Amino acid sequence: MEFPSVLKVAVVPIKYVFEIKRNANGETEISGMEASFLKILSSFLGFKYDIIVSNEYGIPFENGTWTGIMGVLQKGEADIALSISLSEGRANVAQFSKTYGKEDATFAISKPETSIDDFWFIHPLDSITWGLIFVSLVATSAALSLINKRSSIQMLSILLSTLLKQPFTNLKPSTLLALWLLVSTILAFGYSAVLLSNLTLPPKQKDIRNFEELSEAVQLGSYQCYAVRGSVMVNLMRTSKQRHIRLLIDAIDKNDWFVDNNELLHWEKMAKNTALIYHRSALEMFTKRWGSEGYKISADVFVSMEYAMALRKDFCCTDKFDKILSRIEAFAIRKIIYDKMLLAVGEAHETSSEDSNHRPIKFENIKGLMTAGLISYLIAFTLLCAEVIHFKRNQN
């Protein structure tokens, strides 16, 4: 049978993958990785094409009908669709060419930010160390007050000044005082070193590396996770034998964390504490566009899916597509197209990458310290008033 001169091609418009525009003359222009692939097929086989736009790849209904691209093929409204992931359900409504690639289903995630809170100046020492310092401070001041015949409050203030490396006078030399000075010196220098290192390079939140950790973070409410509506991986997640995968997709279903491919076109960046599950190649494109330094693509893989051309059931010439696809695969033409596209996206969205770890200290970062300082001044003023009252009473 003669190969058709015009084919109806069903596509989902995705930035850098398959973009559709109208020129000044009203003619349709296509660009992107899959568009370049379609042009190569058109050149080899000598056909023209009409583009049929859909907003998703398709999900099945209980009555056997499909939405999206698969539904268009099922109804015979399109002849072919490019690079569709294979599944048993999809094979029931369309025929497929030979496979010519494989995609990993993984996730991209916004990199954790530095964790500076209101009381960052407390973090260099843990709660047990702070407790031991307080107990030893009170006990030592009580003992030294007996040796030096001074009030406990006065001795406590002197010992506090030694922690701040302030000078003191008129104390009797003793082994206890020498030990305290040694300990206070070690504590002061150790605290200062850790504090300065945290200010220079603040600690980050825990990095999420795999699907299990992502599922746990979503259950705890610290992260949101989106999936692409109508993608085959969503159905595979729902039937997965891994409990953390089922918990993850249950959370996505419950909160309706689904995004259409059209919506992804308008994402300028991914929000903080957010993950997106999709094909690795598409995620590489998106993160290049958003700014690679702010995002990480996991090395973990939920499933690897082969893809091929999907054709309507009664299409005549699948074998001709198979021959051309074998040649394209042999010369790694798709990889060449992808590498060029990834490089172009990276160059188009190059930004001066400023190290996000090095940022000025803002008021939000020191308000805890200022609050603690004000409380300390109030306590000191209260103690001063108490000492003045006590002194006047003793005079009377």
The residue ranges of every structural domain in the chain are 124-202, 362-391
- Average pLDDT score, the chain: 85
Q: Are 74 and 31 in contact (CB under 8 A)?
A: no
How far is it, in rounded angstroms, from Cα 375 to Cα 242?
52
pLDDT digits (tens, 9 = 90+) for 97-155: 999 988 899 999 988 766 566 666 777 788 898 888 889 888 888 888 888 887 888 88
- According to the model, what pLDDT value does residue 356 have? 46
Flag whether pLDDT at 357 surpasses 50.
no
How far is it, in rounded angstroms, from Cα 258 to Cα 255?
9
Tell the burial category of 392 from Cβ atoms under 10 Å away from its Cβ (0-12, 13-18, 19+). exposed
65-69, 272-276, 327-331, 383-387, range with the lowest pLDDT = 383-387
- According to the model, what pLDDT value does residue 113 have? 64
- According to the model, what pLDDT value does residue 391 have? 77
Q: Which of 57, 7, 16, 12 is nearest to 36 (CA)?
A: 16
- According to the model, what pLDDT value does residue 351 have? 52
pLDDT digits (tens, 9 = 90+) for 210-219: 999 999 999 9
Give CA torsion, residues 300, 305, 309, 312, to 10 deg: -130
Flag whether pLDDT at 370 surpasses 80.
no
Q: Which of 294, 210, 223 is nearest to 252 (CA)?
A: 223
pLDDT digits (tens, 9 = 90+) for 243-255: 999 999 999 999 9
How far is it, in rounded angstroms, from Cα 122 to Cα 134?
14
Confidence band (pLDDT; 50, 70, 90) for 76?
A: very high
Contacts 24+ apart (CB under 8 A), 351-355: 351/291, 353/291, 353/293
Alpha-carbon radius of gyration of the chain: 33
For the whole model, what pTM was predicted? Answer: 0.66
Structure tokens, 130: 């702070």
